[in-house]
Amino acid sequence: MSRRIPALWTSHPSSPQWHDLCQRLVGCRACPRLVAWREEGRRRGKAAYWSRPVPGEGDPKARVLVLGMAPGMEGGNRTGRPFCGDASGRWVREALSRHGWAGGDGEPLSGVYLSNLARCVPPQNRLRAEELARCLPYLREELQLLGHLEVVLALGRQAFLAYLGLREDAPKTARFAHGALVYFPTRPHWLLASYHPSPHNTGPGRLTRAMWEEIWRSVAELAGGSGSTVDPAVLKLHQVVTPSPGQDGAEVLGHRAVGVKAVVADDVGAADEGGVSLNRA
């Protein structure tokens, strides 16, 4: 595969903000350990590997953000595109096509944007906490530019927890579970959790095709609403977390979510000390 410029970079050259962000990101060498590892493919003689930070890809007017942890060595680090080129990427890209977010492989994404918490592939799929902290400002910039988002689909526990950590209006506490759904009083209104579609989860059937399809049907329903018009039947499928009593917006779900029980847990925190495991739910 020839080395290619990431799709977003070439699709929206007229937007100075996106162009500036992509240029800074692609040239970033702030994490020496990850810079060395991302170039490993090329060092092994695989000259076609992208081996640079992987920018986000998709529609600047997206209503859905699909958020992973970091590119894989044979996925984004090889192709230069998030969720592209490996088994996890196939699950994501196929779902996007089936549910109308993309016309097919290589076609522009419509209404959806793909990104990761960290943009360089880490050794043994483990990020250090300081590496994650160094890279998160790029995601913050993307979130500011993506002004039409309604739903963030977090793939894996770390993406879920890290995104919660970026939100000032997040519920005080929440627990990761496949299908867990968090409501925010401000946009994007929804955070939906899924097991990551890595072979670690899909191989043994922890994440099945049926479970994956249900997630994407819910994404479509949540993205189609305005934060207050989502079908209660969809909400019933999920474990919904609302703001804690006393937080702004707590009452919003109180009169809306028929049959949905608010869940308050106590394990939201920063990234694990000593490293962040990728592709683990």
Q: What are phi and psi of 49, to 5 degrees?
A: -65, 140
**Closest distance between ligand SF4 and the C-beta of residue 196, in Å?**
18
Residues in contact with ligand SF4 by the rule CB under 6 A: 25, 28-31, 34-35, 53, 118-120, 131, 134-135
Instruction: Give the residue with the Cβ less far from ligand SF4, 114 or 135.
Output: 135
How far apart CA 155 and CA 278 sit, in angstroms, is: 10
How far apart CA 5 and CA 80 sit, in angstroms, is: 7
CA 102 to chain CA centroid, nearest Å:
17
Instruction: Give the residue with the Cβ less far from ligand SF4, 30 or 48.
Output: 30
**Closest distance between ligand SF4 and the C-beta of residue 33, in Å?**
9
Instruction: Give the residue with the Cβ less far from ligand SF4, 4 or 29.
Output: 29
Q: Which single residue is written with the structure tokens 């890595």?
A: 198
In Å, the largest CA–CA distance within the chain is 60
Instruction: Give the residue with the Cβ less far from ligand SF4, 33 or 167.
Output: 33
69: left (phi over 0), alpha (psi -120 to 50) or beta: alpha
Q: Which single residue is written with the structure tokens 């002004």?
A: 147
Instruction: Give the residue with the Cβ less far from ligand SF4, 135 or 170.
Output: 135
**Closest distance between ligand SF4 and the C-beta of residue 69, in Å?**
11
**Closest distance between ligand SF4 and the C-beta of residue 223, in Å?**
28
**Closest distance between ligand SF4 and the C-beta of residue 54, in Å?**
8
